[in-house]
Amino acid sequence: MVLLAFVIRPIANSLFVAAVLAGFIWPLHQWLSQHSFSGRGISAAALVLGVVALLLGPIAAFVAFAIAEGAAGWNFLTEMVRSEGVMGLVERLPPPLPHMTRLLLDRLPATGAADLVGTVQALLRTQGANAAIAVGATLSATGTLLFQTAMMLMAFYFLLLQGDKLVAWLDEVSPLKSGQTLELMAEFKSVSFSVILSTVLTSAAQASAALCGYLIARVPHALFFTGLTFFVAFVPAVGAASVCLLAAVLILATGHGYAALFLALWGLIVVGLIDNVIKPLLIRAGMHMNAAVVFFALIGGLSAFGAIGLLLGPLVVALCLALLRMYKRDFKPET
C-alpha cells in the first residue's frame, strides 16, 4: 500500500478530478449509452471531447481577442507617435497621468544613442539570467499542467468506460460489509455533483453580477469580459473580481476615473463576495449539511490542498460523516 501511494502520488490530483467528473457526468453517460447506437466507448470518447472543448474553447477565444485588441492598440500607438510624437501621446492620457509622465520624462538623463545602447546592453546582461529563470519556470509549469490534464482526461475516459465494474470490485474486496462501500461511493457521487453544480452556478451568478457592473460602467466588449469572468471564477487563486479590476484599469486609461472606481468597488464588494455566500448554500442544499460546516470545509480544503481542496474539503467531511453514520447504524452496540 505504501508503494502504491508513491505510484499514485504524482497523478493523485488528476485521478481525483477524473473521478469527480465521472461521478458528475455518469447519468448523462448512461443515458447516451442506452439511447444511442454508439455504445459506451463512443459515448465516453464524445464526453471526453466535450470536456476538452470546454477547456480549450475559452482559452482560444481569449487568445484571439487579445491578439486582435493588441494589434489594434499597437497600430493606434504607432500612428499616434508618427503623427503627434511621444508628447502628443502623453497628452492623451487621463489626468493626472500627463503631468506625472512629463515630470518623469524631465528627470530622465539626456544621453546619446551610444549611451542608450550601452545602458540597454548592461540591463540585458544583468537581467538576462532572471528572465531565463522566469521563462524556464513558466515552461515547466505549463508542461506540468499539460501532463496533469492529459492524465486526467485518460483516467476520465477509462472511468466512464469501466467505472461501474471498478466500484463493484471495490465493494467486493473492501473490508467493510457488503454494500457499505457502495454507500460511500454514492455519497462521493452526490457530493461531487453538488460541488460541481454549485461551482458552475456560483460562477454564473458572479458573471451576471459583473455584467451589470460592466454595463453601468460602459465597459467596451462587455460580453467578452462577462465570459472571461465566468471562466476565471473557477480559479480560486485569481477570482472573478480580478477581471473587474482589469476592466477598471482599462477604462481608467481611457479617462473614465469615476466609472473605473465604481467598477473596482463593484468587483471587490459584490462580485467577489457572492462566492462566499452562494456556494456554501448551494453545496449545503445538495449535501444536507450545516452551512457553517460546508463553509469551513471549503476554507480548510482550500488551505490544506490548494484549489483542489474546494472539491476535496467537502468530500472528506461528507465521507467522514457517512462513516460515522454507518458505525452508529451497523457497529455500535446497543445500550
Rounded to the nearest 5 degrees, what angle is found at the Cα of 23, between the Cα atoms of 21 and 26? 100
Determine the Cα–Cα distance for residues 310 and 199; give it in Å rounded to an integer. Answer: 9
Q: Is pLDDT at 112 greater than 60 in this prediction?
A: no
- Which among 277, 275, 258 has a CA at the least distance from the CA of 210? 275
Q: Does 199 share its domain with 139?
A: no
Which DSSP string do the residues of 193-208 spell out, in sequence order?
A: HHHHHHHHHHHHHHHH
**Cut 0.85: pTM above it:** no
* The amino acid at 43: S
- Which among 143, 138, 140, 162 has a CA at the least distance from the CA of 18? 162
Q: Would you say residue 4 lies in a domain?
A: no
* The amino acid at 167: V
User: What confidence category does residue 210 fall into, taking pLDDT thresholds of 50, 70 and 90?
Assistant: very high
Per the prediction, the chain carries an average pLDDT of 80
Output the pLDDT for position 180: 84
Output the pLDDT for position 155: 92
Are 278 and 271 in contact by the 8 Å Cβ rule? The answer is no
- Segment (H or E) for 190: helix 180-217
**CB-side exposure of 220: number of CA atoms within 13 Å?**
9
- Which among 304, 320, 308, 292 has a CA at the least distance from the CA of 195? 308
Residue finishing a domain among 163, 185, 212:
163
Q: Count structural domains, the chain.
A: 2
Q: Is pLDDT at 191 greater than 70 in this prediction?
A: yes
Q: Does 44 share its domain with 145?
A: yes
Q: Does 158 share its domain with 228?
A: no
| Cell numbers given for 32 | 447516451
Pick from 105-109, 173-177, 302-306: least confident: 105-109
User: What confidence category does residue 297 fall into, taking pLDDT thresholds of 50, 70 and 90?
Assistant: confident
pLDDT in tens, 268-291: 898 888 887 888 777 776 666 777
High-pLDDT (> 70) share of the chain, %: 78
Q: Does 97 share its domain with 211?
A: no
Determine the Cα–Cα distance for residues 119 and 80; give it in Å rounded to an integer. Answer: 27
Q: Does 56 share its domain with 192?
A: no
Residue finishing a domain among 133, 163, 193:
163
* Residues in contact with 152: Cβ distance below 8 Å, sequence separation at least 6, in sequence order: 14, 15, 17, 18, 21
Beta strands in 144-269 (DSSP E): none
